Amino acid sequence: MTDLSLIETLRFEPGIGFVRLRLHLARLSRSARRLGFPEPLAAADRLTEAVAGASSALRVRLTFDHNGQTAITSAPFTPLAAGSVWNVKVASTRLDSGDKLLRMKTTRREIYDTARSEYASSEADEVIMLNERGEVCEGTITSVFLDDRSGLLRTPPIACGLLAGVLRTELICQRKARVGRITPEDLKTGRLYIGNSLRGLIAANLIL
C-alpha cells in the first residue's frame, strides 16, 4: 500500500470549526489501521494549524501516507445555493463489490475518474456507479440516498462496494437514514439525494 495515501476532505467554518471533525478523524484512524499505516495521532493538531487565522469558509484536504506523513492543503469554499439540484447520470463503469479499498477514501481514484469522464460537466453534475451485480453504490464524490417514502432515507450497504461516507455515517447514526440495497429501477420511483460531508445533502435529478 505504499503507492497510495488516505484522504479526508473537510469543511471549515469560522466560529464553528471543522464540520463533522470527529467522524472524519475516526474514519482516518480506522482506515489507517486496516491498511497497516501508523496511527494518525497528529492529524487533529495539523488541521488546527492549517486554519489558524482563517476568516472565511475553507475546503481542507488532508492526506496521510504509509510513512505517517500528513499533508494539508486548503482553498476557499462556497456552499451551494439553497434549493440547488444536481443533474445525475449512471455510469457504465462498474465497481467491484469485493474490492475492500472502495470502503476507504484513498488517492487511488482512477475508477472514479473514468466514470466521471463518461459525461461532460454540462451533461451531469455527478455520476452514479453500480457494482458488478447492477446494484447502486455511490457517486464519484458523493454517497447516494433515496427517499422511498418509508420515513427514512435509504442508502446502499458498504458490502455493495462503496465508501463509508462521513455524511452517510452521520445520517445513519441520527436515524435519518437506513441501510438497504438500491436498484437502478428504484432511482426512478423514489426521490434521489446525493451528498458528502463537504457539501451536505443535495437534491438530485436522475437524467436517463
CATH number, domain of 134, equals 3.20.10.10
Regarding whether 89 and 69 lie in a shared domain, the answer is: no
Distances 130 to 19, 95, 101, 152, 156 between C-alpha atoms, Å: 29, 6, 16, 22, 11
Q: Which cell is 93 given? A: 463503469
Do 114 and 187 lie in one domain? The reply is: yes
Distance (Å, whole) CA 138 – CA 201: 14
End position of a domain, from candidates 59, 76, 93: 76
Q: Are residues 69 and 124 in the same domain?
A: no
Q: 124 and 181: one domain?
A: yes
Instruction: Give yes or no for a contact between 56 and 8, defined as CB atoms under 8 angstroms apart.
Output: no
Strand partners, 13: 17
What CATH number should be reported for the domain holding residue 49?
Answer: 3.30.470.10
Per DSSP, what are the bridge partners of residue 42? none
Hey, what amino acid is at 184?
P
Same domain, 101 and 172: yes
Q: What string of pLDDT tens digits covers the 208 residues of the chain?
A: 678 999 999 999 999 999 999 999 999 999 999 999 999 999 999 999 999 999 999 999 999 999 999 999 999 999 999 999 999 999 999 999 999 999 999 999 999 999 999 999 999 999 999 999 999 999 999 999 999 999 999 999 999 999 999 999 999 999 999 999 999 999 999 999 999 999 999 999 999 8
Same domain, 100 and 175: yes
Residue 70's domain spans which residues?
A: 6-76
Angle between helices 166-173 and 21-35 (to 10 degrees): 120
Q: Is residue 1 situated within a structural domain?
A: no
Give the count of alpha carbons within 13 A of 58, CB side only.
22
The rounded distance, in Å, linking the Cα atoms of 131 and 110 is: 16
**Distance (Å, rounded) from C-alpha 134 to C-alpha 2?**
32
Q: Is 103 a member of any domain?
A: yes
CB burial class (10 A; 0-12, 13-18, 19+) of residue 59? middle
Same domain, yes or no: 134 and 42: no
Full-prediction pTM beyond 0.85?
yes
Question: Tell me, what's the pLDDT at 2?
Answer: 76
Taking the alpha carbons of 115, 97, 9, 145 in that order, is the dihedral positive or negative?
A: positive
Instruction: Please give the tally of structural domains in the chain.
Output: 2
Residues 46 and 103 in one domain: no
- Does 37 lie in the same domain as 15? yes
pLDDT of res. 1: 65
Helix locations, the chain, DSSP H? 21-35, 43-50, 110-116, 166-173, 184-189
- 94 and 52: one domain? no
